[in-house]
Amino acid sequence: MPDIPIVETFDLCRRDAERGQVLLQPTSFSLFAGDRVAVTGPSGSGKSVFLRALALLDPLDAGRIEWHGKAVSRIRMPQYRRHIAYIRQRPAILDGTVEDNLRYPYTLRAYRDVRFDRERARSFAEQAGRGGDFLDRYASELSGGEAQITALIRVLQLEPEVLLFDEPTASLDPESSHAIEALVNAWLDPADARRASVWVSHDLAQAARVSDRHLTMRAGVLTEITQPAAPPGTQGDVREGTR
């Protein structure tokens, strides 16, 4: 295991701006290349707050984040955003075709050094069981699962280092969920292991499939469990690994 994590948090803390209530207790967490992490826990416990803080989507109230051992300065923020991707439950899909959606990031300044690769996009779609004319389909006609597959390909083609999943399959059918897991597993490429993922899920069976490290969130406290997510009804070996 490499010494320097891809992303490391030091006493990361989030508060409710109005009432000052602590949403995320000071959290120190390291994400290493090759890590596949699952976070489970009750609704309202702070899983999304943690993930959004990790993605630097919300301002931090205390603590700090390092990326490859260095602080994420304002100047490095666009690069951080590019490499640490947050994928939410309901993706924002634009009008037009799937291909229009996949081409969209390349119109942004942050991605002007890379070009859309149609063949590669097609191969991602095939990995998710969507061959043929998928890229020509209209976004308005996509199922929820297909919209999420589109959103995921849109992110994967940009080659992020870390994927932060906030219940990406929560409202999807099992077939679509498995297609998304397959796509992510292929992308993580265990033979290479330069990348990492954090997957928030309510589904313990899914958490077990998509992770080698399991953390739980309870009332804003993140705790590491040594074993991968245990199936329902069994007890994991719990230790305070993150505080």
- Site for ligand ATP, rule CB under 6 A: 16, 23, 41, 43-49, 217
> Quick one: what does residue 49 bind among Mg ion, ligand ATP, none, with the CB cut-off 5 to 8 Å set by partner type?
ligand ATP
Taking the complex as a whole, how short is the minimal distance between the CB of residue 42 and ligand ATP, in angstroms?
7
Q: Which of 114, 123, 99, 105 is nearest to 183 (CA)?
A: 123
Taking the complex as a whole, how short is the minimal distance between the CB of residue 200 and ligand ATP, in angstroms?
7
With CB under 5 A as the contact rule, the residue among 25, 48, 169, 201 that binds Mg ion is 48
In the beta sheet, which residues pair with residue 238? 225
Taking the complex as a whole, how short is the minimal distance between the CB of residue 235 and ligand ATP, in angstroms?
22
Task: Tell me the residue type at 238.
Answer: V
Q: Which is nearer to ligand ATP, 44 or 174 (CB)?
A: 44
- CA dihedral sign, ordered 133, 134, 137, 141: positive
> Quick one: what does residue 6 bind among Mg ion, ligand ATP, none, with the CB cut-off 5 to 8 Å set by partner type?
none
Q: Which of 174, 180, 184 is nearest to 149 (CA)?
A: 180
CB 101 within 8 A of CB 150: yes
The verdict on 40 binding Mg ion (CB under 5 A) reads no
Q: Which is nearer to ligand ATP, 16 or 173 (CB)?
A: 16
Q: Which is nearer to ligand ATP, 58 or 66 (CB)?
A: 58
> Quick one: what does residue 39 bind among Mg ion, ligand ATP, none, with the CB cut-off 5 to 8 Å set by partner type?
none
The verdict on 206 binding Mg ion (CB under 5 A) reads no
> Quick one: what does residue 27 bind among Mg ion, ligand ATP, none, with the CB cut-off 5 to 8 Å set by partner type?
none
What is d(CA 106, CA 112) in angstroms, rounded to the nearest whole number?
6
Q: Which is nearer to ligand ATP, 26 or 46 (CB)?
A: 46
Q: Which is nearer to Mg ion, 9 or 127 (CB)?
A: 9
CB 50 within 8 A of CB 23: no
3-state secondary structure of 79: helix
3-state secondary structure of 163: strand
Farthest-apart Cα atoms in the chain, separation: 52
CB 35 within 8 A of CB 197: yes
Q: Which of 140, 150, 145 is nearest to 170 (CA)?
A: 145
> Quick one: what does residue 44 bind among Mg ion, ligand ATP, none, with the CB cut-off 5 to 8 Å set by partner type?
ligand ATP
The verdict on 169 binding Mg ion (CB under 5 A) reads no
CA 165 to chain centre: 3
Q: Which is nearer to ligand ATP, 103 or 168 (CB)?
A: 168
The verdict on 216 binding Mg ion (CB under 5 A) reads no
Contacts with Mg ion, residue ranges (CB under 5 A): 47-48
